[in-house]
Amino acid sequence: MNIKFSASVLLLFFTQIFFAQNADNGAKLFKQNCAVCHASHSDQKLTGPGLKGVFDRVPKPADEWLTKWILNNEKLIKSGDAYANKIYNENNKAAMTVFEGQLSENDVKDILAFLKAPPPASKNTPVAQSDNKQTSTAETEKSKGSNYLLIFLVIFVLVVLWISLRNVRIALQNVVNVKTGKPIYEPQSIGDEIKEWLVKNNRLVFVLSLIIVFVGMKSCWDELWKVGVYYDWKTQKGYKPEQPIKFSHKIHAGDNEIACQYCHNGVEKSKHSGIPTVNICMNCHKGIQEGHNTGKAEKAKIYAAAGYDPSTGKYDESKANPIRWIKVYNLPDHVYFSHQQHVVVGKLQCEQCHGNVKEMDVIEQKNPLTMKWCINCHRETEVQMAGNPYYDRLHAYLKEKYKGKRDVKFTVEKIGGLECGKCHY
């Protein structure tokens, strides 16, 4: 009895873990494949219906029908299935992706487990919080402005006070002078008096002007720093400009595991990685209209750039206006650099040159793009020749050349990676 009991507890425990894992994996798969068109635990309609309560409305047995639908909804519709045709028509014959070949039956099981599980811990709170954050940054901006106003007011009041006190002092002086029979005091002009004061307090004046010059230079410096002029001079690492849209690589490439190539689709075919056009953003953001951190504000910028009106769902090309991203990695024009060569032939990872982009909310230049940086890596990195058809002939030649010598490393240097002409036009 006892054994039976603990065995069933154990079983429950393991199924619980197993179930949780399924649902976790399902959540991930849902995000990657479905979240673009469906809200998981609410009624909100995106491109497709919200999936809250879906198990109750589809034909029974629900899991079986849903698996068929998710793997190949087209086939199910064509087969004449009444419910499939009903929702298809209700949604104006909008096409759902066919996932056969992309998702396995087990993947679909995990997704269904995720849909059955209680909704993930409410994400509404972060939205509310971030709204506060936004207003508070707006407020600090505002208070910065009012600070300047305050300083100006204080200076103004001090000057007025000083002038009126000066007049009072002269008047009092003269009252005393009249009583004691001294001649009436003729006030100097204000300018002369200031001059006299400056000469008397020359040290204080010197220190004050030093401070003013220093503060001025510091804020000029900070401005330059912000604009990034400083980094352009030095191709320094650490350049991290604020972008026109708060696009986060952490959210996209990290949390949602979108492949770099999905957006930077030139990286394997050309010199340039390329920056995605707004159409690529719209593939997903037509569906995802609100961010957890930034609410609607940032999304509105995407729609504006695409000339898209989310209330009517229509595009107006004449209103489209490309997003002006600020370029972070800049090589001078006299340097030749190819992504294809490094990523496809050299089999390097993006991280080796760009740092851990998946953790960055804002892209930051992680390496100085100096000649020394390129050359050091070419000296140290071995060329991946084995199994790389690009190098079959060269490899045979080098093996012949260094025959008998041990510990020869075929670094990029050895294949001519330090020749000036390779990197300079």
Question: Residues 78 to 117: which contact ligand HEC by CB under 6 A?
Answer: 87-88, 91, 94, 96-97, 99, 111
Rule CB under 6 A: say whether 72 interacts with ligand HEC.
no
> Quick one: which of 374, 341, 331 has its CA closest to 266?
341
Q: Is 76 in the site for ligand HEC (CB under 6 A)?
A: no
374 sits near ligand HEC (criterion: CB under 6 A): yes
Sign of dihedral through CA atoms 196, 200, 203, 204?
A: negative
Q: Work out how close the CB of 275 gets to ligand HEC at its nearest, in angstroms, rounded to a whole number.
A: 5
Cβ proximity to ligand HEC: between 177 and 338 the closer is 338
Both tokens of 377, joined, read 């890596």
Q: Closest-CB residue for ligand HEC?
A: 291
CA dist., res. 418 & res. 62, Å (int): 64
Bond preceding residue 61 cis, omega within 30 of 0: yes
Which positions from 196 through 235 interact with ligand HEC, judged by CB under 6 A? 235
Burial class (CB in 10 A: 0-12, 13-18, 19+), 313: exposed
The number of residues that bind ligand HEC (CB under 6 A) is 103
Residue 174 vs 388, nearer CB to ligand HEC: 388
Per CB under 6 A, the segment of 187-195, 203-211, 218-226, 411-419 that binds ligand HEC is 411-419
Q: Which amino acid is at 302?
A: I
CA distance 320 to 318: 6
Among 63, 341, 379, 402, binds ligand HEC (CB under 6 A): 341
CB of 141 to ligand HEC, least distance (A): 20
Residue 401 neighbours by CB distance under 10 Å = 10
According to CB under 6 A, which one of 23, 39, 51, 306 is a site residue for ligand HEC?
Answer: 51
Listed ranges 177-185, 313-321, 349-357, 402-410: which one lies at the site for ligand HEC (CB under 6 A): 349-357
Taking the C-alpha atoms of residue 425 and residue 112, their distance in angstroms, rounded to an integer, is 56
CA 49, chain centre distance (Å): 29
Residue 397 is a binding residue for ligand HEC (CB under 6 A): no
Question: Contacting ligand HEC (CB under 6 A), which of 267, 303, 308, 410?
Answer: 267
Interface with ligand HEC, residue 331, by CB under 6 A: yes
Q: Looking up tokens 């054994």, which residue turns up? A: 3
Please enumerate in sequence order all residues whose Cβ is within 8 A of that of 51, keeping only pairs 6 or more positions apart, or say none. Answer: 38, 39, 40, 41, 115
Q: Give yes or no for residue 127 binding ligand HEC (CB under 6 A).
A: no
Q: Is residue 40 near ligand HEC by the rule CB under 6 A? A: no
Q: How far is CA 134 from the centre of its chain?
A: 16
Looking at beta carbons only, is 3 or 121 nearer to ligand HEC? Answer: 121
Q: Which of 78, 182, 272, 401 binds ligand HEC (CB under 6 A)?
A: 272
CB nearer to ligand HEC: give 170 or 348: 348
N-to-C CA span, the chain: 83
Residue whose C-alpha is closest to residue 413's, from 386, 375, 385: 375
